[in-house]
């Protein structure tokens, strides 16, 4: 696709409605957000794509019970807002409680549904997804999933996360390590993968303008992964690979959401077939980009922000302090960032964990410099 060099006319803004609140300013892009999103995932972007809004349309439909249980519904129907301490069941009937203070849901620990993974065959009731209203959700979201947008479905609960939801963290980590239980874990993951592929087949049929899948499976803590790369390679990677192979066969892109300090697991994300990963800010995104960015698309973030800002305790405080910097300094940080990781032939994209640094000046300068770098 011939787009050409950056044209200053691209900075002619228009206002567009925002799903999250007041209208947002939109640049005069030379191609659609869909086309740049697709080009990004193919390794040939025209500007630095933001991982979420506005460059990617988040989609998390209420037809999948986990999205209600985990208080994360984004679709064309009525907006769903969980109330503090709401308790909702996921697709397996496991109850999640919404905690307003942290803006998320969790299964109450201490009374696991399964204490022994060997009992999964007798105790787990598998969802009958044929009874879900696929025709209704297709109609409800036909206008929401516009073809000119890069539409990405978020799928909340992967393999290890699902094991935790049934067993609590301590039992799940023991089950995945213990040789006596590993065969039962593998058998459970195999059937779970069958279910996920079946769900995704229905999803792809219901939403023809869906372009990518963003699937959650947290593997690490603030300091290190929960388990070794060898354990992940044996116990989880084969089942992930079945899903990514299926989605790729349908022409869809696959992004893994995996929280934690997981540098040691990146080669497993690649082996599992993921096209992209967004490391949290405790990771060195430049090192991950340097070491793996030619094999997997890495969501990077500026690492030249003043140390006194990065030392502030909350994202809101960091964002406010960054916005208070002189505009030219914000723009210089954007240019330095773009020159570091917006490289033709080895692109990255902008990490939503660093959204609080995306001031209007930063975003405009990043757009200009990344357009220039990627069109060389």
Q: What is the pLDDT of residues 1-26, one digit of tens each?
A: 668 999 999 999 887 666 555 667 78
Contact assessment for residue 118 and residue 124, using Cβ atoms and an 8 Å cutoff: no
Q: Count Cβ atoms below 10 Å from residue 369 Cβ, excluding itself.
A: 21
Which residue has better confidence, 16 or 195? 195
Share of the chain above pLDDT 90, in %: 90
pLDDT value of position 22:
64
pLDDT value of position 17:
64
pLDDT at 77 over 80: no
Which residue has better confidence, 63 or 22? 63
pLDDT value of position 159:
98
pLDDT at 158 over 80: yes
Fold entry, domain 52-277: TIM Barrel (3.20.20)
Q: How is the chain split into domains, by residue range?
A: 52-277
Give the residue-averaged pLDDT of 63-76: 95
State the helix-helix crossing angle for 179-206 and 159-177, rounded to 10 degrees.
170
How far apart, in whole angstroms, are the C-alpha atoms of residue 264 and residue 330? 32
**Residues 6+ away with beta carbon under 8 Å from 325:** 306
How far apart, in whole angstroms, are the C-alpha atoms of residue 295 and residue 289? 9
Tokens of 76: 């064309």
Which residue has better confidence, 108 or 243? 243
How far apart, in whole angstroms, are the C-alpha atoms of residue 144 and residue 294? 33
CA atoms within 13 A on the CB side of 215: 27
Tokens of 150: 């890069």
Longest dimension (CA), the chain: 64
Q: What is the residue-averaged pLDDT of the chain?
A: 95
pLDDT at 53 over 90: no
Contact assessment for residue 70 and residue 94, using Cβ atoms and an 8 Å cutoff: no
pLDDT at 268 over 70: yes
Residue labelled with tokens 């405080």: 317
Share of the chain above pLDDT 70, in %: 97
């Amino acid at each position: 696709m011939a787009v050409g060099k950056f044209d200053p006319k691209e900075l002619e803004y228009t206002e567009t409605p925002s799903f999250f609140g007041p209208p947002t300013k939109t640049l005069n892009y030379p191609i659609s957000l869909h086309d740049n999103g697709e080009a990004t995932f193919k390794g040939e972007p025209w500007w630095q794509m933001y991982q979420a809004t506005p460059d990617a349309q988040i989609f998390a439909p209420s037809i999948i019970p986990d999205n209600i249980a985990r208080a994360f519904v984004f679709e064309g129907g009525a907006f769903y807002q969980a109330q503090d301490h709401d308790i909702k069941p996921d697709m397996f009937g496991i109850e999640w409680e919404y905690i307003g203070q942290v803006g998320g849901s969790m299964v109450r620990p201490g009374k696991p549904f399964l204490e022994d993974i060997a009992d999964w065959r007798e105790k787990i009731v598998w969802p009958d997804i044929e009874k879900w209203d696929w025709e209704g959700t297709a109609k409800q979201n036909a206008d929401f999933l516009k073809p000119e947008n890069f539409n990405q479905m978020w799928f909340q609960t992967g393999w290890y996360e699902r094991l935790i939801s049934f067993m609590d963290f301590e039992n799940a980590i023991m089950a995945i390590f213990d040789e006596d239980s590993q065969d039962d874990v593998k058998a459970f993951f195999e059937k779970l993968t069958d279910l996920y592929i079946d769900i995704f087949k229905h999803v792809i049929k219901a939403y023809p303008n869906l372009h990518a899948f963003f699937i959650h499976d947290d593997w690490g803590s603030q300091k290190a992964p929960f388990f070794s790369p060898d354990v992940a390679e044996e116990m989880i990677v084969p089942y992930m690979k079945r899903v990514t192979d299926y989605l790729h066969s349908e022409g869809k892109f696959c992004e893994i959401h995996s929280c934690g300090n997981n540098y040691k697991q990146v080669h497993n994300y690649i082996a599992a077939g993921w096209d992209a990963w967004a490391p949290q800010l405790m990771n060195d995104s430049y090192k991950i980009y340097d070491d793996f960015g030619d094999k997997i698309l890495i969501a990077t973030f500026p690492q030249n922000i003043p140390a006194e800002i990065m030392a502030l305790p909350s994202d809101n405080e960091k964002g406010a302090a960054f916005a208070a910097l002189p505009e030219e300094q914000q723009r210089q940080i954007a240019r330095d960032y773009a020159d570091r990781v917006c490289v033709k032939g080895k692109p990255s994209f902008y990490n939503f964990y660093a959204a609080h640094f995306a001031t209007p000046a930063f975003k405009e300068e990043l757009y200009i410099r990344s357009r220039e770098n990627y069109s060389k």
